[in-house]
Amino acid sequence: MIRKAPLADWLKQARENSGLSQGDVANELGYSSPQFVSNWERGLSSPPIPKYKRLCKLYNISLDEAYNKLLAATLEGVEHQLKVKFFNQSNRKKARKS
């Protein structure tokens, strides 16, 4: 199962609430294609921090709110990766002992 990044839906909703298209955002941030914005909103990648801060201005979101969303998403991602590593390695060792 592919997990969608928790930040993805939030970024899409914030953009839509601001009335901007992916193309509008890409142009404002200096990208040649809206594909960058699409990738962020699908959870395939995340905006670099300087671009993330510019998104706050474009979307009229406070830096504190954006920081808290980014922090929560980062912690959730790290926790998921750690669980996968920890429990997959534990399961492999159990399988070898059986």
pTM of the model: 0.78
> Could you give the number of structural domains in the chain?
1
Confirm whether 74 is domain-assigned. yes
36 or 6: which leads in pLDDT: 36
The whole domain housing 64 covers 8-97
Exposure letters 61-91 (e unless 16+ CB within 10 A, then b): beeeebeebbeebeeeeeeeeeeeeeeeeee
Mean of the pLDDT values across residues 28-36?
97
pLDDT of residue 89: 76
50 or 2: which leads in pLDDT: 50
Confirm whether 46 is domain-assigned. yes
Confirm whether 31 is domain-assigned. yes
Which CATH number characterizes residue 13's domain?
1.10.260.40
Does residue 65 surpass a pLDDT of 90? yes
pLDDT of residue 22: 98
